[in-house]
Structure 1
Amino acid sequence: MSNQKTEKQKMLAGELYLASDPELASERLFARQLTKQLNDSGPDETELRESILEKLIGKKGKNFWIEPPFYCDYGYNISAGDDVFFNFNCVVLDVTPVILGSRVLIAPNVQFYAATHPTDFRERGSLVEFGKPISIGDDVWIGGSTIICPGVTIGSRSIIGAGSVVTKDIPEDVLAAGNPCKVIRSLV
């Protein structure tokens, strides 16, 4: 029996992997089919939307909601607590876990990039990629058009100002904003 990891196992472990792997391509296709159904659904089709989210999202607490359109790579790497709300046009590149605490409010156009690429052009040219998990604490508010980069953690009760590019961890209980995102002031 071979001890060699599959491309999916490598992806989930945050190691270099080939996204063109047939298993991963099939799983991305499944997620895209579900997001298309979600994005094409009517605003009054709440039961349909809830049923699609049951199939798409890995773990979700009560009162989880996404306003379409929404896009993700796999869906099963997204984990959310209770009372999480995604507003319109959000993107989650969930090649590794994207974990959201409870009562997280996500404004329109927010993007979570857990996926990344090697910095060495030769390695990047071989078409391998990898991911770094993203973690968002409880009671976080993420302002519109924010980009959250690979490997970032945002502490509980913090607010990220609109248009921010979050490249480094943000502690608990702060207002942070900018490009790159920096702590502006304490909230306690």
Structure 2
Amino acid sequence: MNEMEKAAAGLLYDANYDPELRRRREAAKARLFEFNHTPPGEQARREVILRGLLGRTGAAFLIEPPFNCDYGYNIELGENFYANVNLVILDCARVAIGDNVFVAPNVGIYTAGHPLDVERRNQGLEYAFPVTIGDNVWIGAGVSILPGVTIGAGSVIGAGAVVVKDVPASVLVAGNPARVLRPITGADRLRFSTKAG
């Protein structure tokens, strides 16, 4: 079993040992450099770059630069995805994001982790567990989503949260570690009016 297969199976693997993994990371970094250095008016060019980098995109999506990831091909975006500046996705495993997901600035989505014991960690070994984000999720500024997490549809992740375990659908979570504060209900529609006066 090669290092890519180990990673896909959720086993410890050496990302620096495998020449194919190194080659793929370098190719992603080259595309990201181009994406992150496009002038502000070249949104169409940015979209072409990302469609060539990411595993799947919807017809409509927008990622504000700078954006960084490890490989790109493990990232799947649904329709109407929006990410503000400084999104980081360590996509050593699959990151599946649903439709109508909005991401605030300085968010990190991490599939990769390292062993707790010093000996294996110092050998450069790591693991990767997939992250899944359901439809209609809003992720607040400065959120960290850790390996293996699933976020249920319609949930809101409050700014600064560190999400270490699965989040049910249609709830508000916040904190470090993130915890469910309350369900999101029809009453939340009444909090803000779209009518002036």
Fold match, TM over 0.5?
yes
Q: Establish whether residue 127 from structure 1 lines up as the match of residue 124 from structure 2.
A: yes
Unaligned runs of 5+ in 1: none
Instruction: Tell me how far apart the structure 1 counterparts of residues 50 and 159 of structure 2 sit (CA, whole Å).
Output: 26
Q: Secondary structure at the match of 2:109?
A: strand
Instruction: Tell me how far apart the structure 2 counterparts of residues 14 and 40 of structure 1 sit (CA, whole Å).
Output: 34
Contact 1:71 1:89 in 2 (8 A): yes
In the TM superposition, what whole-angstrom CA distance separates every residue of 1:49-90 from its partner, at most 9, and x where no partner exists?
Answer: 011011111111121211000000000000111011111001
TM-score, with length taken from structure 1: 0.95
Q: Establish whether residue 149 from structure 1 lines up as the match of residue 146 from structure 2.
A: yes
Name the structure 2 match of 1:163: 160
Name the structure 1 match of 2:34: 37
Q: Which of these two proteins has the greater Rg computed from alpha carbons? A: 2
Contact 1:13 1:96 in 2 (8 A): no
CA drift at 1:125: 2.1
CA drift at 1:136: 0.3
Q: Secondary structure at the match of 1:75?
A: coil
CA drift at 1:118: 1.2
Name the structure 1 match of 2:107: 110
CA drift at 1:13: 2.0
Instruction: Tell me how far apart the structure 2 counterparts of residues 43 and 58 of structure 1 sit (CA, whole Å).
Output: 24
CA drift at 1:121: 1.8
The letter for the 2-side match of 1:144 is: A
Name the structure 2 match of 1:69: 66
Q: Establish whether residue 78 from structure 1 lines up as the match of residue 98 from structure 2.
A: no
Contact 1:64 1:84 in 2 (8 A): yes
Instruction: Tell me how far apart the structure 1 counterparts of residues 10 and 91 of structure 2 sit (CA, whole Å).
Output: 11
TM-score, with length taken from structure 2: 0.91
List structure 1 runs of 4+ shifted beyond 2 angstroms: none
Contact 1:141 1:159 in 2 (8 A): yes
Instruction: Tell me how far apart the structure 2 counterparts of residues 185 and 32 of structure 1 sit (CA, whole Å).
Output: 40
Instruction: Tell me how far apart the structure 2 counterparts of residues 69 and 93 of structure 1 sit (CA, whole Å).
Output: 14
Contact 1:7 1:17 in 2 (8 A): yes
Number of residue-to-residue matches in the alignment: 184
Name the structure 2 match of 1:16: 12
Name the structure 2 match of 1:6: 2
Q: Secondary structure at the match of 2:132?
A: strand
The letter for the 1-side match of 2:75 is: I
Q: Establish whether residue 87 from structure 1 lines up as the match of residue 87 from structure 2.
A: no
The letter for the 2-side match of 1:151 is: G
Instruction: Tell me how far apart the structure 2 counterparts of residues 62 and 9 of structure 1 sit (CA, whole Å).
Output: 30
Instruction: Tell me how far apart the structure 2 counterparts of residues 13 and 52 of structure 1 sit (CA, whole Å).
Output: 29
Identical columns (%): 48
